[in-house]
Structure 1
Amino acid sequence: MEFKIVDVFKRSVTIELESDTCFCQEKTYDIRIDDRIITTDKNVVSVTGLLPDHEYEIVVEFDGVKSNRCFRTQAESYLLNVKAFGAKGDGITNDTPAIQAAISACPENGTVLLPAGTYYVTPLFLKSNMTLWLDEGATLLGDNNREHYPIMPGMVRSTDEKDEFNLGTWEGNPLDSFASLITGIDLENVDIVGPGTLDGNAQNADWWVNPKVKRVAWRPNILYLCRCNNVRVQNIKVQNSPAWNVHPYYCDNLAFLNLHIQNPSDSPNTDGLDPESCKDVLVLGTVISVGDDCMAIKSGKYYMSLNHHKATENMVIRNCKFEKGHGSVTVGSEAAGGVKNIRVSQCIFDGTDRGLRIKTRRGRGERSVLDDIVFEKIKMNGVHMPFTVNMFYFCDPDGHSDYVQSQKEAPVDEMTPVIGSIIARDIVCEDVNACVLCAVGLPERPIEKLVLENIKASFLPESEQVPERPVMMDNFQEMKGRSVYAKNVSELVIRNVTIQGASDSEPECIGVAKTDVDGLRYDG
């Protein structure tokens, strides 16, 4: 089995098998480096415990066939152990001053090490050109008292009142929010590596009580990166976040490798990984199970798009597994800046409510162009509604207003969003409940193109199906066992699609200007 080296760090490396399987292999294989053997079935693997500035040979042995690659780890200037700065790691002492001192003192290209232990902290602020290393058994545990958290102002005016400086954000708007457990502002060249844990400790605080009520400031993330460039996060466990777990914001050149993000399934607004107005993002080998969308790709609301416009673009999500969540990979709804060139492949969606989930609404604006989004080579198991596209999403205070929800054609103006090309191909969906595809465009701005190609979908037995509303909009019926529902679509393409166990026997198309159906088959 051939493999490639994805990224080399100071003391670790991430590799990826060159395989067409989703997330993992059917059998285990061995990775050999020095005298170590790692047995795994995963397609993406991070090997830790290496030394800086050393040459290594890594060998993958699969079914008796070996392939090898050589690499050199990155150099490291200094290694600073937080315990030398006074950190206790006993889970009781406030270790924030000691760890922050180590970070502040870290020289260029240095590493701050957290050895095994539980470090009780309030938010920590990183600096550029450094590595934060949480070793095996190391946990950063969030303080459970919100009064101990600094506030990130949403927007600060420049002294000459010509410019704005944005720090805090909440659901697409520049609003005061608490600093996150790990916070990075205007950083470059930063690595955050494991295999330790970032634990927001939200279950032992009041973050999830009245979650939609602002109390002093809005809830924090666990990891928040604001206007950062060249940041890599590898082999970290992230859990129990007060709000979104990992939130890159106006960042470029990001890599998230072998993360494991987990929150209780009933924890509110705890999205797993939400890149917002970011460019060139790679997500590999990551497992997410949370209380909201596993991943939500965003680009802010109208104010940010109008005054600080930046689209989210050029994102690759591959060999990942998305479990509990409202959506596996979502685009929107706070995407006023636009989202384009998204590739999701070789992933497993296991038990999420929706698989591919696109959501927007009137008011997002003409820059909200969601286009060139491709999902391919995916296995969906127990995903209730594999493909949903909704241009009437009822979020925000005016979400249920007639302006957002009216089914009558409205004027196309500067507040009208666009959904361009959405493609789903080479996908198997088992144990579907409500519908295979539910797509609802605006009458004044239909969804431009939807493609389902090489899809095999099978429903739960009828006795196990439960009516559900596939898209969150007003006055929309619940469904179960439905195959394809499309409304207000310019072009619908269905090629080589097999649907088993549906309650209907043909697509329901309303206001679909052009259909290209070839090889659609209904079984039993």
Structure 2
Amino acid sequence: MENLCPNLKSRNSQVIEMISTTFLLLGLALCLHVAECTPKTTPLDNIVFSALNCRKHSAVLTDFGGVGDGKTSNTKAFASAINKLSGLASDGGAMLIVPPGKWLTGSFNLTSHFTLYIHKDAVLLGSQDESEWPEVAILPSYGRGRDAPGRLSSLIFGTNLTDIVVTGGNGTIDGQGAPWWKKFRNGELNVTRPYLIQILFSNQVQISNLTLVNSPSWNVHTIYCSDVVIQWMTVLAPIDSPNTDGINPDSCTNTRIEDCYIVSGDDCIAVKSGWDQYGNKVGMPTQQLVIRRLTCISPDSATIALGSEMSGGIQDVRIEDITAINTQSGVRIKTAVGRGAFVRDIYVRRMFMKTMKYVFWMTGSYGEHPDNGFDPKALPEIKRINYRDIVAENVTYSARLDGITNDPFTGICISNVTITLTEKPKKLQWNCTNVEGVTSNVTPPACDLLPEKKPMECPFPEDRLPIEDVKLKSCSIASTVA
């Protein structure tokens, strides 16, 4: 099925059209040692959705003892279902349907050649019982948990997988994060809070058509993955909630993020690749990344952040058709002495911003470190950063661009930018240190370190990344009777 590019404002109506009829509960009696499953007598209206791959087999969570009353734990039901469905990976794969209801659960693990489908009237609720969140190994490119020495498993977790789809009819995953935020603020945790979805060391990954709310911490984290499609996601968190990043591609290659709406207490999208010496050692960059048609609201953070954990490198990132409203900054670079690696070949075009603190912000002193083992001589290389075709309204500062002494950020190009200021703007609109580059047709005029060049356009690649040509298939479950 062609991956269409509709306007974000029509998202909800198009999702409703995609889910053509009301979903009624279906059970499929699953037989692990036969070629096919025998359907129960409960009829099922058609479900139609887009996926990297369709599945031959399907089952419903209630077939494994699931109870959707919002009170009964379904952690064991998810584990049992996915364990049994994993046996069908070599026979066309399997899909687990989460039907209408409220499904309380702790962390559970996915399997390969598998689809988790969350119905539009289903809500997954993150358990408040901490025993249902097992501690897992630290990430090798971080050396410790992001909040604290250890880390807890995510609500939906997967590692070393191939061909995994987490999707739905815009069903909801509610992390019920408020108790976690309180404990974090009070310094009561010695482990990193859970994320909602985390996929590690995997390829052919799709996360789409879901609403994520109230995550304990980051919402979507793909790390050490390749060939990733993340689209049609709605991510909502209180704007004062700590570290509720929307989508974090981390040491991933060939990723497409598109048509998402994010309200966050932190960066709407944070591109990462490991932390200081640990990221240097693993050395896996985030590269071949396209981000487009994103709408972001985040008063205290960035629309898209590159870093600050970027010690495996970030390169070949293409960002276009972005809307930021009441957000602290646009596409921001965050790095520091001790990070090493690079952020290079970044291309941004067609951004609209309204009510911003900064339009352009680069920081060379974002110096939080995992421990004292980082190399103070590890200087990051920031170069070939390109912005063009940007309109911003009600802006306090046009730019704050702070490179590193004896390690300037170079090759900055900014063209065709119109910024209108708030009623009480800062007097110094372009605050620049340790940066080099050019500007063209920029209002207000840039700093002396970014001189005006004859009319020109900053580059944006004309070729296509491999992930842009990945087309989703139209998948369905036909109504059947025994």
In structure 1, the partner of 2:346 is 373
SS in 2 for 1:430: strand
Go from structure 1 to structure 2 and tell me whether the alpha carbon gap of 1:237 and 1:265 turns closer, same or farther (over 3 Å shift): same
Cα deviation for residue 484 of structure 1 reads 1.8
What is the identity, as a one-letter code, of the residue corresponding to 1:393? Y
CA distance in 1, matches of 2:52, 2:452: 52
Deviation per CA, 1:389-435: give whole Å up to 9, x if none: 11112423789xxxx9xxxxxxx9851111011111001001101x1
Go from structure 1 to structure 2 and tell me whether the alpha carbon gap of 1:72 and 1:166 turns closer, same or farther (over 3 Å shift): closer
In structure 2, the partner of 1:65 is none
Determine which of 262, 266, 277 is the counterpart of 2:236: 262
Matched, 1:47 2:18: yes
Matched, 1:498 2:443: yes
Matched, 1:482 2:422: no
What is the identity, as a one-letter code, of the residue corresponding to 1:496? N
In structure 2, the partner of 1:103 is 82
Cα deviation for residue 300 of structure 1 reads 0.7
In structure 1, the partner of 2:2 is 5
In structure 2, the partner of 1:178 is 152
Higher helix content, 1 or 2: 2
CA distance in 1, matches of 2:370, 2:394: 35
In structure 2, the partner of 1:129 is 113
CA distance in 1, matches of 2:429, 2:455: 15
In structure 2, the partner of 1:220 is 194
1:319-358 to structure 2, matched below 5 A, reads: 319-325=293-299, 326-358=301-333
CA distance in 2, matches of 1:393, 1:457: 26
SS in 1 for 2:63: helix
In structure 1, the partner of 2:101 is 117
In structure 2, the partner of 1:452 is 414
In structure 2, the partner of 1:248 is 222
SS in 1 for 2:280: helix
Determine which of 198, 211, 227 is the counterpart of 2:173: 198
Which structure 1 segments of 5+ residues have no match? 7-14, 18-22, 30-37, 52-70, 156-164, 405-411, 466-479, 500-505
Q: Give the aligned CA root-mean-square deviation in angstroms.
A: 3.0
Matched, 1:81 2:52: no
CA distance in 2, matches of 1:264, 1:414: 39
What is the identity, as a one-letter code, of the residue corresponding to 1:424? Y
In structure 2, the partner of 1:436 is 398
In structure 2, the partner of 1:293 is 267
CA distance in 2, matches of 1:437, 1:101: 53
What is the identity, as a one-letter code, of the residue corresponding to 1:386? V
Which of structures 1 and 2 has the larger relative contact order (alpha carbons within 8 angstroms, sep 6+)?
Answer: 2
Go from structure 1 to structure 2 and tell me whether the alpha carbon gap of 1:278 and 1:73 turns closer, same or farther (over 3 Å shift): closer
SS in 1 for 2:327: coil
CA distance in 2, matches of 1:398, 1:166: 13
CA distance in 1, matches of 2:304, 2:272: 11
Q: Retained in 1: the 8 A contact 2:195–2:215?
A: yes
SS in 2 for 1:84: helix
Q: Retained in 2: the 8 A contact 1:227–1:251?
A: yes
Aligned length: 422
Cα deviation for residue 166 of structure 1 reads 8.1
Q: Retained in 2: the 8 A contact 1:459–1:481?
A: no
Cα deviation for residue 306 of structure 1 reads 3.2
In structure 1, the partner of 2:358 is 385
TM value normalised by structure 1? 0.75
Cα deviation for residue 46 of structure 1 reads 8.3
Is 385-394 or 252-261 further displaced after alignment? 385-394
CA distance in 2, matches of 1:343, 1:440: 22
Q: Retained in 1: the 8 A contact 2:51–2:165?
A: no
In structure 1, the partner of 2:475 is none
Q: Retained in 2: the 8 A contact 1:443–1:488?
A: yes
In structure 1, the partner of 2:468 is none
Q: Retained in 1: the 8 A contact 2:8–2:259?
A: no
Q: Retained in 1: the 8 A contact 2:235–2:246?
A: yes
Go from structure 1 to structure 2 and tell me whether the alpha carbon gap of 1:73 and 1:199 turns closer, same or farther (over 3 Å shift): closer
Cα deviation for residue 305 of structure 1 reads 2.5
Cα deviation for residue 494 of structure 1 reads 1.1
In structure 2, the partner of 1:144 is 128
Q: Retained in 2: the 8 A contact 1:45–1:285?
A: no
Cα deviation for residue 449 of structure 1 reads 1.6
CA distance in 2, matches of 1:342, 1:240: 28
Same amino acid, percent of matched pairs: 27
In structure 2, the partner of 1:210 is 184
SS in 2 for 1:236: strand
Cα deviation for residue 24 of structure 1 reads 4.4
Go from structure 1 to structure 2 and tell me whether the alpha carbon gap of 1:306 and 1:45 turns closer, same or farther (over 3 Å shift): farther
CA distance in 1, matches of 2:348, 2:222: 22
Go from structure 1 to structure 2 and tell me whether the alpha carbon gap of 1:201 and 1:428 turns closer, same or farther (over 3 Å shift): same
CA distance in 2, matches of 1:78, 1:335: 40
In structure 2, the partner of 1:230 is 204
Which structure 2 segments of 5+ residues have no match? 24-49, 457-482
Deviation per CA, 1:332-379: give whole Å up to 9, x if none: 1110111001111011111111111101000012xx210011110111
Go from structure 1 to structure 2 and tell me whether the alpha carbon gap of 1:46 and 1:340 turns closer, same or farther (over 3 Å shift): farther
SS in 1 for 2:248: coil
Q: Retained in 1: the 8 A contact 2:53–2:163?
A: no
1:500-519 to structure 2, matched below 5 A, reads: 507-509=446-448, 512=449, 515-518=451-454
Cα deviation for residue 133 of structure 1 reads 0.2
Matched, 1:418 2:381: yes
Go from structure 1 to structure 2 and tell me whether the alpha carbon gap of 1:169 and 1:224 turns closer, same or farther (over 3 Å shift): farther
Q: Retained in 2: the 8 A contact 1:168–1:176?
A: no
Q: Retained in 1: the 8 A contact 2:337–2:377?
A: no
CA distance in 2, matches of 1:413, 1:75: 50
What is the identity, as a one-letter code, of the residue corresponding to 2:378? M
What is the identity, as a one-letter code, of the residue corresponding to 1:260? T
Q: Retained in 1: the 8 A contact 2:8–2:260?
A: no
SS in 2 for 1:392: coil
